[in-house]
Amino acid sequence: MSASQTESQRMHHIHQIVPSVKVYYKLNQLLISMPTKDNQQDLIIVAVEYSNQKRYFLSLTFDELSKLLYYLEPCQRTLYEVLCQKKSNKLYFDFGVYIKNSFNLDVQESLLILQNLFHNVIANCVNQDSNNSTSFTDHFLVLSASTELKHSYHLIYTNTSVRFESQETISHIIMVILQHYAHFIVTPSCQQQFPPLVNINHQNDYLVYLQTTLSQTNFCNCAIPKTNITCSNFEKLFYKNQDGSHQWVFDLHVYSKNQQFRLYKSTKFGINNTLLPTSDFNFKRNYSHDETINYNNIYHNYILNHSLISYSSNYKDIIIIPYNQNLWSISNENKNYMIDLSSTDHFNSLILPNTCNYIDLRIQLEFDNYYSSIVNIRISTKQNIP
């Protein structure tokens, strides 16, 4: 079936597989109709693209979504998980680099460093052993939709217990970690400059500023404290555009309210780039294969379960990390407060003084003036749909 099929044709195929599903043309209408808060985590909100940038919305159980992805033809699987603000989420990244910009970049090495960096920090912050026999790569599901034009990967942190309260919380934790690393790299122990401290409300702008500052830095082989990577490893999280500007290898704009994130086995409308596990990162977390059994459907559900970012019904003893009023903490699945995360030794070492609730006017003006002069690293406020 061609990509130009009509909306009614696409809905017909979906209703053949899941007859009772109700279709909504506005996301807000679906969210208003959702069940009570206690049952929300059992349902998955899905956006279906039926023409370029046009979508309708469904509310599905895991089994219903599994059937859709299993039985729909590849060109019909234009499905996205909608990450609703009221649901806790796994950590996730959208890694994307055009081939023409990647000649000086070892993509596989960059993917490994990104996984190593965030697993090490998060595992230590929540008092999980990050140095046990399990490889950090076993905690990440890596899906690829790469083409001859672009390296494209989704990384989902599948740690069975750790969730973040919202996409905004994920964005905050990414900034805290990157700022900690960058601060060490450009301190006088390795370099001769400090990055200016900027209010956290400017986090996307600040990350762009960091990537510009770091692109002018000489990276050494010093080990970054509280981590198991070096400054030169950190450099692999950038690539150089053809215009000479530097950019993070992962997208900063995929943590918006009601963000839509492409589902496993799905493709973008009109493009043949199905999102599938990659042989470069063979994901086998708690999965054993018995050659005497046909595992096609079991493996399909296994990968789907781990790839879903906002679905947690199959997991127990969830740890949720919220960020409220400049306070990082840990709570349980019922949002009962457990511990002030900022008071723990490992996490406290990541927090730079004055970065969250104090603005130095001189520094802010210096940042604003500097940032306004960078014409080749403007970032759009428009939400990206990976």
Beta-sheet strand order (sheet of 92-98)? 92-98, 150-157, 140-144, 276-277
> How many C-beta atoms surround the C-beta of residue 386 within 10 A?
22
Q: What is the pLDDT of residue 123?
A: 84
pLDDT at 242: 76
Mention every residue, 6+ apart, whose C-beta is less than 8 A from residue 211. Answer: 238, 246, 247, 248, 377
User: What pLDDT was estimated at residue 36?
Assistant: 61
Q: Are strands 319-321 and 162-164 parallel, antiparallel or unpaired?
A: parallel
Task: Tell me if 234 is assigned to some domain.
Answer: no
How far apart are the C-alpha atoms of 108 and 95, rounded to whole Å?
A: 11
Say how far apart CA 222 and CA 219 lie, in whole Å. Answer: 9
Q: How far apart are CA 234 and CA 214, in angstroms?
A: 10
For residue 92, CA distances in Å to 125, 149, 181 come to 17, 23, 19
Q: Per the structure, how many domains does the chain have?
A: 1
Backbone angles phi, psi at 130, to 5 degrees: -90, 0
Query: In the β-sheet with 259-262, what is the strand arrangement from edge to edge?
Result: 54-60, 44-51, 79-83, 259-262
CA 55, CA 372: separation in Å to the nearest integer?
36
User: pLDDT digit string (tens) for 332-377?
Assistant: 777 677 788 777 776 766 765 434 332 233 333 333 443 333 333 3
110 in a structural domain: no
Tell me how far the alpha carbon of residue 159 is from its chain's centroid.
13
* Centroid of chain to Cα 349: 23
pLDDT computed for residue 67 by the predictor: 93
- Give the residue among 118, 150, 137, 130 at the shortest CA–CA distance from 237: 118
Q: Kindly provide the residue ranges of all beta strands, DSSP E only, lying in the chain, ordered along the sequence.
A: 44-51, 54-60, 79-83, 92-98, 140-144, 150-157, 162-164, 238-240, 246-248, 259-262, 276-277, 319-321, 323-324, 327-331, 337-340
* SS3 category, 10: helix
Residues in the chain, pLDDT under 70 = 1-10, 12, 36-41, 52, 128-134, 186-211, 213-216, 284-295, 313-315, 335, 346, 348-349, 351-385
Instruction: Decide if 376 is inside a domain.
Output: no
According to DSSP, residue 221 is labeled: -
Determine the Cα–Cα distance for residues 145 and 130; give it in Å rounded to an integer: 29
Supply the pLDDT for residue 85. 73
* pLDDT recorded at residue 204: 58
| pTM above threshold 0.85 | no
Query: What count of Cα atoms within 13 Å lies in the side-chain half-sphere of residue 295?
Result: 10
Whether residue 352 lies inside any domain: the answer is no
79 part of a folded domain: yes
- pLDDT score at 365: 37
Q: Is residue 351 part of a domain?
A: no
Which residues form the domain of 308?
Answer: 7-89+255-315
Q: Sign of torsion, CA 70 72 74 79? A: negative
Q: State both tokens at 136.
A: 């950090």
If DSSP codes are grouped into helix, strand and coil, which group holds residue 247?
strand
